[in-house]
Chain A
Amino acid sequence: MEFTLFTLLNGVSYGLLLFMLSSGLTLIFSMMGVLNFAHASFYMLGAYVAYAISSKLGFWPALVLAPIAVGLAGALVERYGLRPLHKAGHIPELLFTFGLSYLIVELVQLVWGRAAVPYPIPRELDGPLFTLFSTSFPIYRGFMMLVALAMLAAIWLVLTRTRIGLVIQAALTHPDAVEALGHNVPRIFMWVFGGGCALAGLAGVIGGNAFVTEPGMAATVGSIIFVVVVVGGMGSLAGAFVASILIGVLQTFAVALDYSMMSLLNWAGATITPETPGYELLKLTISQSAAILPFLLLVLILIFRPKGLLGTRE
C-alpha cells in the first residue's frame, strides 16, 4: 500500500514533468508541422539559465525569468532559422532543429563546463510535505506537480477561452483563412514556437534541481518525449497528457520492481538454472528493463494502434 501510493505519486510527478515538455512539442508540431528536435535542448537551457539566475537573484526570480529568456531564444530561432526554411519543406526544418540540438549542447558546455552544476532546491521547498506510514513525500515533488497542473490549466484557458487562443486554434487548421482575415500567421507561429520553448524552459527550471543539471540531461529526456508524442497521438494535447502520465508511472514502477521471469517461474514450481535455454532473458528483472519499456510501448502502439492513444491522424 505504502509502496504503491508513493511510487504512484512519484510516477505522476515525473509524468507531469514529461507533459510540460511534450505539451510544447505537441503544440509546435500540430501548429507548424515541425518536429522540434531541439526541444529537450531548450529544457536543458532552461535549467542552466535558471541556475545562473538563481545563483545571483535566487530561485523565485529564476522561475519567472528563465522561461521568458528561453522563450525569447526560441522565438528568435523560429524567426531567423526556421521561417526562411519553411518553404523548403519539413525535412530541412527538422534537420535544422537537429543541428541546433548539437549546437546548444556544445554552447552549454562552453559556458558552464562539462561537469554537472550545483543547482540546489530552494531552502523553503526542501523537506517533507507529509509522512505516511514511514515514507515521507518531499515538498519539492508536490511543488513540481502544482506548477505542472497550473501550467496545464493555463494552456487550456488560453487556448479555449481567449481571443488569441481562438486565433491559434483557427490557424492550426486553416492558416490561409486566418491570414485572409488579417491576422499575421507567421508571427503567431513565432510566438507559439517561443511559447512551446518557454514551457520546455519552465520544465527545465523545476526539473533541473529535482534531477541533475548536466550537459547530458537533454539526451536523457529527449527520446522519451518523442515516445510520449507518438504514443499519445501526433498533435493531440490530451493524448500527450495521458501518455506522459502513463510512461511516467510505468517507468517509476518498473525501476522499483525487482522481479524477473525466473522468479515468476520459480514461484510457479519450475526450477531455472543457468543451463536453462534463454537464461539471460529469464533472469532479467523488471527494474533492469525499465530503460527500454517506453520504447517497447512505442513499438507496440505502432503495431496495434498506429494513430496513437488519442490521435486523430495517421
Chain B
Amino acid sequence: MSTLSFAPVKLGRYLLWGGFALILALAPLAFNKGAALSILSQIGTVMIFGLSYNMLLGQGGMLSFGHAVYSGLGAFFAIHAMNRAGAGIAVPTSLIPLVGGLAGMGVGILFGYVTTRKSGTTFAMITLGLVELVFASSLMFPGFFGGEGGVTTNRVTGTPVLGISYGPQIQVYYLIACWLFASTIAMYAFTHTPLGRMINAVRDNPERVEFIGYDAQWVRYLTLILSAFFAGISGGLSAINFEIVSAENVSAIRSGSILLFVFIGGAGFFFGPLLGAVVGIFFSVMLSDYTPAWQLYLGLFFVVLVRYAPAGLASLMMLLLRTVRFGKFGRIWKPLLAVCASTAIGLAGLVMGIEMLYHLTLESANGSTMTLFGRLVDTKASVPWCVALALMAIGIVGYRRLQPGYGAAWHEVNAEIVARLSGRSP
C-alpha cells in the first residue's frame, strides 16, 4: 500500500457497519417468537466468542482447544458478581459483561503465560491440557463452581433504570446486541493496530519477526490476553442470558464446538465467525429439536468442509461474490445450480437413511414407524430403504456427471479473473 493515498470518507465502510447495526436492531422484528428471540440472543453471544477465538486462530494461527476456559471462568465471575448485587458492591446488570471480560483477561494473563510459550501443535495440546485441568478442578471446588448443578442467579435485581429491568428477553437481546456491536468494532479495530498486524506476521513467519526484533512469544501473549477479554465478555453475556453457569461452560466440549463453528464460518476472514455462529447455532440448537442425529450432521458437515473447502463458508461466499463482481456469474450459475440440485437429491437420501437408522437403533422401543418429511415411514419395511438408496445413487451419479462441467467453467472464469487482476496491478 502506498503511503501517499488520500483518505476519503469511506462510504462503503459506513454502509457496512450501518447495515450490521440495522440488522441487529431489526432482527427481533422478523423473529419475534419467544424461542426465536432466545436463539438470536445465543447467536449474539456465540458471535462474540467466535470473533474472540478467531483473534487466535485466524489472525494468530494459534489453534486453541481450550478457549472455553476464558469465557467460562468469565461467566463464573460474572454470575458471582450478579449474586453479590444484594450485598456489598453492586454492579449494574448492563456492565456485568465487563466483569466477565476483566475476569477472562485475568485468567488469560495467568494461563496465556504458559500456553503462548509454544506455537503450533504443542500450543494446541497445552490448551487442551489446561481446559481439562480447569474442568477437573471445577468439580473439586463446589464452593465457587457450584458442583454438578452449577451456579444460578436472577438477572432482575435492583430498581429498573429507564424501565429496563432485564426481565423480558427482548431487553436481554438488545443488551447482547449492543455488546456485540461494540465488541465487533473493537475487534475489527484491533486488526488494524500495530499489534494486530504483528500477530499476522507472527502467524506467517515467526522467525523473520524475531529477526526484525520483535518477541513473537510476547506478541502471542498480548493477543491472547485481549482475546480472553472478549471471550470473557461473551461469557458474562451468556450468564445473563441463561441465568445459570455450570462446569460445562469451561469444558473441552464447549471449546471444541467454538473451534468447529469458527472453522465452518471461515477463519481466514474477519466476518467468518459471524457466519459460523449462525450455522453452529442452527445445528446445535435448532436442528437438535428435530433430530437426535444433529451431531452426526455437524461432524459430517465439518469433515466435508475441511476436506474440500478448508477456508470455510466465508471463502466460498467471497469467491462467488467475486465472479458476480466481475460480471461472470451468468456463465457459471447454470452448471452450479445443476450440481447443487444433484447434491440436494443425494443429501435427501442420506438424511433419510440416517434418520431411519437412528430410529431403528435408538428408538425401536417406540415401534418401527416414524414421521419423515411429513410422511409416516416404516423403518422395518424395505421400500423406504430402497427410496433412500435410490436418492443417494441418483445424487452420486448426477454429481459425478455434472461436476466436471461445472469445474471446467469455474476454473475458466477464475483464471480470467486472476489474469485481469494481475494485469491491472502488476
Whether the pair B130, A299 counts as a contact (CB closer than 8 A) is yes
Residues in B whose Cβ lies below 8 Å from that of A306: 117-118
Query: How big is chain B's contact interface, by range?
Result: 35 or more
Whether A157 is near chain B, meaning CB under 8 Å from some CB there, is no
Residues in B whose Cβ lies below 8 Å from that of A110: 293, 296, 357-358, 361-362
Known: A227-B129, A302-B114. A94 touches B137 (CB 8 A): no
Closest to A288 in B: B140
Residues in B whose Cβ lies below 8 Å from that of A113: 361-362
Q: Mark B303-339, 1 if CB is under 8 A from A, else 0.
A: 1001100100000000000000000000000000000
Residues in A whose Cβ lies below 8 Å from that of B357: 110
Known: A85-B307, A223-B129, A230-B122. A302 touches B296 (CB 8 A): no
Residues in A whose Cβ lies below 8 Å from that of B114: 299, 302-303
Identify B136's interface contact among A92, A219, A291, CB under 8 A.
A291
Whether the pair B306, A99 counts as a contact (CB closer than 8 A) is yes
Shortest beta-carbon distance from A185 to chain B in Å: 21
Whether the pair B307, A84 counts as a contact (CB closer than 8 A) is yes
Shortest beta-carbon distance from B149 to chain A in Å: 17
Q: Residues of B with Cβ closer than 8 Å to A?
A: 61, 63, 114, 117-118, 120-122, 124-126, 128-130, 132-133, 136-137, 139-141, 143, 252, 256, 259-260, 263, 293, 295-296, 298-300, 302-303, 306-307, 310, 357-358, 361-362
Closest to A85 in B: B307
Known: A35-B125, A299-B133. A99 touches B299 (CB 8 A): yes
Shortest beta-carbon distance from A277 to chain B in Å: 13
Whether A18 is near chain B, meaning CB under 8 Å from some CB there, is no
Known: A94-B121, A95-B306, A114-B362. A223 touches B63 (CB 8 A): no
Known: A102-B298, A223-B132, A227-B129. A302 touches B118 (CB 8 A): yes
Shortest beta-carbon distance from B210 to chain A in Å: 14
Report Cα–Cα, A92/B137, bound state, in Å: 31
Closest to A281 in B: B141
Whether the pair A96, B307 counts as a contact (CB closer than 8 A) is yes
Whether the pair B63, A91 counts as a contact (CB closer than 8 A) is yes
Q: Mark A98-130, 1 if CB is under 8 A from B, else 0.
A: 111011011101110110000000000000000
Whether the pair B133, A295 counts as a contact (CB closer than 8 A) is yes
Whether A5 is near chain B, meaning CB under 8 Å from some CB there, is no
Whether the pair B141, A280 counts as a contact (CB closer than 8 A) is yes
Query: How big is chain A's contact interface, by range?
Result: 35 or more
Whether A79 is near chain B, meaning CB under 8 Å from some CB there, is no
Shortest beta-carbon distance from B232 to chain A in Å: 21
Residues in A whose Cβ lies below 8 Å from that of B296: 103, 106-107, 110
Closest to A300 in B: B114
Known: A227-B129, A295-B136. A92 touches B117 (CB 8 A): no
Whether the pair A100, B118 counts as a contact (CB closer than 8 A) is no
Shortest beta-carbon distance from A131 to chain B in Å: 35
Whether A298 is near chain B, meaning CB under 8 Å from some CB there, is yes
Report Cα–Cα, A114/B137, bound state, in Å: 27
Residues in A whose Cβ lies below 8 Å from that of B293: 106, 110
14 sample A-B contacts, Cβ–Cβ < 8 Å, listed by A number: A35-B121, A85-B306, A96-B303, A99-B299, A100-B299, A102-B302, A110-B358, A223-B132, A229-B125, A230-B129, A280-B141, A284-B140, A294-B129, A295-B136
Report Cα–Cα, A35/B124, bound state, in Å: 10
Whether the pair A295, B141 counts as a contact (CB closer than 8 A) is no
Whether A181 is near chain B, meaning CB under 8 Å from some CB there, is no
Report Cα–Cα, A94/B303, bound state, in Å: 11
Shortest beta-carbon distance from A82 to chain B in Å: 9
Mark out the residues of chain A between 75 and 101 whose CB falls within 8 Å of any chain B CB in the assembled complex: 81, 84-85, 88, 90-92, 94-96, 98-100
Whether the pair A292, B361 counts as a contact (CB closer than 8 A) is no
Whether A289 is near chain B, meaning CB under 8 Å from some CB there, is yes
Report Cα–Cα, A114/B260, bound state, in Å: 23
Whether the pair A102, B295 counts as a contact (CB closer than 8 A) is yes
Beyond A81-B307, A110-B357, A284-B140, 7 additional contacts (C-beta under 8 Å) are: A90-B121, A226-B129, A230-B129, A295-B132, A298-B133, A302-B114, A302-B118
Report Cα–Cα, A111/B361, bound state, in Å: 7
Identify A106's interface contact among B121, B124, B299, CB under 8 A.
B299
Residues in B whose Cβ lies below 8 Å from that of A299: 114, 126, 129-130, 133
Whether the pair B121, A298 counts as a contact (CB closer than 8 A) is no
Whether A296 is near chain B, meaning CB under 8 Å from some CB there, is yes
Whether the pair A302, B306 counts as a contact (CB closer than 8 A) is no
Residues in B whose Cβ lies below 8 Å from that of A90: 120-121
Shortest beta-carbon distance from A174 to chain B in Å: 21
Known: A95-B306, A106-B296, A299-B130. A230 touches B140 (CB 8 A): no
Whether A234 is near chain B, meaning CB under 8 Å from some CB there, is yes
Residues in A whose Cβ lies below 8 Å from that of B260: 99, 102
Report Cα–Cα, A183/B136, bound state, in Å: 47
Report Cα–Cα, A310/B117, bound state, in Å: 19
Shortest beta-carbon distance from A312 to chain B in Å: 14
Shortest beta-carbon distance from A117 to chain B in Å: 13
Closest to A80 in B: B307
Whether the pair A292, B125 counts as a contact (CB closer than 8 A) is no
Report Cα–Cα, A251/B141, bound state, in Å: 19
Whether the pair B126, A230 counts as a contact (CB closer than 8 A) is yes
Report Cα–Cα, A284/B136, bound state, in Å: 13
Whether the pair B140, A292 counts as a contact (CB closer than 8 A) is yes
Report Cα–Cα, A78/B302, bound state, in Å: 17
Residues in B whose Cβ lies below 8 Å from that of A223: 128-129, 132, 252
Residues in B whose Cβ lies below 8 Å from that of A109: 362
Closest to B113 in A: A303
Report Cα–Cα, A291/B130, bound state, in Å: 12
Residues in B whose Cβ lies below 8 Å from that of A98: 256, 259
Shortest beta-carbon distance from A275 to chain B in Å: 14
Shortest beta-carbon distance from A58 to chain B in Å: 25
Known: A35-B121, A295-B133. A302 touches B299 (CB 8 A): no
Residues in B whose Cβ lies below 8 Å from that of A298: 126, 129, 133
Known: A94-B63, A280-B141, A288-B140. A99 touches B303 (CB 8 A): yes
Residues in B whose Cβ lies below 8 Å from that of A99: 260, 299, 302-303, 306
Report Cα–Cα, A229/B128, bound state, in Å: 13
Report Cα–Cα, A314/B361, bound state, in Å: 47
The 3 closest A-B pairs by CB, nearest first: A102-B299, A295-B133, A291-B136
